[in-house]
C-alpha cells in the first residue's frame, strides 16, 4: 500500500504565480479531502470529494482556489494568483468505508511558500 | 455547533513518564472520537478511535476512553519514549457534519531522554 501521494513536497513561488498541487489517493478509497495547516489557524478543511464529486467546498477561502478530481486516482488543488498569505502546508487525505467514522489517511503534505 | 477542545502545549516529559493529554468535546447525538498523531515533516496518521460511549481505543501503548458523561476522550500512555515526540490532535466526527472532522488545535509533545 503506497499511501496517499502528494507532489511536490515543497513549492516556492512568487506572488501572482499559479500553483498546482497534486494528490493520488489510496486505491479504492472513494473520499478525498484537501486540508490547509498553519500555525495561526491549525487544520482547515478546504474541500472534499465523494466518488469524484465535490460535496462541500465551503472551506475554500476565495475564488483564487479551485480543486478538481477528474478520476478516482487523481486530484489537483490550484491557486491562481497566489498570495503570501497562502503560505502553508497543504494536505490531501483519502478515506474508504463511506461512513462518517471511517478514518482519514493523510499524505505527507506540500509546503507552499509564496514570496 | 460541534467543537473539540484539547489542552494547550507544549508538553515536555522525560522518557518513561506518564502522559495525559486532555480532550473534551461538545456535540449533539453520538459522535465518533479520534486521536491523530503528526510526526515532524509528515502528515497526520490515525492513532486510535472510539465510536460509542465507554469504548476504549488503544494503539502503540496509547489509550483513550470515550466518556459521554464528562464529554471527554483523554489520551494516556503509561511510559513515553523519545520516539513519541510529535503533535497529537483530538478530533470528532458526527453524522450531522457530512464527513467533516472537527479538530482540536493540537498538542505538541517533546520527550527528553
Vertex A65 angle, CA A59 and A70, to 5°:
95
pLDDT for B4 equals 95
A16: Cα within 13 Å, side-chain hemisphere: 0
Owner of C-alpha cell 503528526: B38
How is residue B90 annotated by DSSP? E
Listed by number, the residues of chain B in 24-83 with a beta carbon closer than 8 Å to a beta carbon of chain A are 32, 34, 36, 41-46, 49, 51
Instruction: Please say if the pLDDT value at position B95 is more than 80.
Output: no
Q: Who's near B58: CB < 8 A, 6+ residues apart?
A: B48, B64
A13 and A75 Cβ atoms separated by less than 8 Å: no
Determine whether the interchain pair A106/B49 forms a contact, defined as Cβ–Cβ distance below 8 Å. no
Residue of A nearest to B48 (CA): A103
Q: In B, which residues are within 8 Å of A30 by CB distance?
A: none
Of A50, A101, A105, the CB nearest to B93: A101
Q: What is the pLDDT of residues B37-87, one digit of tens each?
A: 999 989 999 999 999 999 999 999 999 999 999 999 999 999 999 999 999
d(CA B21, CA A44): 22
CA angle in degrees (0–180, nearest 5) for B87-B93-B98: 130
- Closest-CA distance, B1 to chain A, in angstroms, reads 16
Which of B1, B8, B99, B103 is the best residue to mutate to test the A interface, defined by the most A CB atoms within 10 Å of its own CB? B99
Q: Which of A42, A100, A103 is the closest to B46 by Cβ?
A: A103
Is the separation of the CB atoms in B64 and B4 below 8 Å?
no
With beta carbons less than 8 A apart as the criterion, state whether A84 and A15 touch: yes
Q: What is the pLDDT of residues A42-58, one digit of tens each?
A: 899 999 999 999 999 99
Predicted pLDDT of residue B71: 96
List b or e across B5-21, with b for residues whose CB sees 16 or more CB atoms inside 10 angstroms: ebbeeebebeeeeebeb
Q: Which of residues A113 and B41 earns the better pLDDT score?
A: A113
What distance in Å separates the CA atoms of residue B47 and residue B45, rounded to the nearest whole number?
6
pLDDT tens digits, one per residue of A8-44? 999 999 999 999 999 999 999 999 999 999 988 889 9
Amino acid at each position: 500500500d503506497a499511501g496517499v501521494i502528494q507532489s511536490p513536497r515543497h513549492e516556492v513561488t512568487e506572488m501572482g504565480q499559479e500553483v498546482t498541487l497534486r494528490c493520488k489517493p489510496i486505491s479504492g478509497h472513494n473520499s478525498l479531502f484537501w486540508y490547509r495547516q498553519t500555525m495561526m489557524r491549525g487544520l482547515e478543511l478546504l474541500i472534499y470529494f465523494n466518488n469524484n464529486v465535490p460535496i462541500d467546498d465551503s472551506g475554500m477561502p476565495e475564488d483564487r482556489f479551485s480543486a478538481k478530481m477528474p478520476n478516482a486516482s487523481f486530484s489537483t488543488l490550484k491557486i491562481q494568483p497566489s498570495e503570501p498569505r497562502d503560505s502553508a502546508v497543504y494536505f490531501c487525505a483519502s478515506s474508504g468505508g463511506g461512513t462518517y467514522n471511517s478514518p482519514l489517511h493523510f499524505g505527507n503534505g506540500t509546503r507552499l511558500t509564496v514570496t | 455547533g460541534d467543537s473539540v477542545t484539547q489542552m494547550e502545549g507544549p508538553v515536555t516529559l522525560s522518557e518513561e513518564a506518564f502522559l495525559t493529554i486532555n480532550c473534551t468535546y461538545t456535540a449533539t447525538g453520538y459522535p465518533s472520537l479520534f486521536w491523530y498523531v503528526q510526526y515532524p515533516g509528515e502528515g497526520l496518521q490515525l492513532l486510535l478511535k472510539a465510536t460509542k460511549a465507554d469504548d476504549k481505543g488503544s494503539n502503540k501503548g496509547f489509550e483513550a476512553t470515550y466518556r459521554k458523561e464528562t464529554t471527554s476522550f483523554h489520551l494516556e500512555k503509561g511510559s513515553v519514549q523519545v520516539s513519541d515526540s510529535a503533535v497529537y490532535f483530538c478530533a470528532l466526527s458526527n453524522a450531522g457534519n457530512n464527513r467533516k472532522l472537527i479538530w482540536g488545535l493540537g498538542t505538541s509533545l517533546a520527550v527528553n531522554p
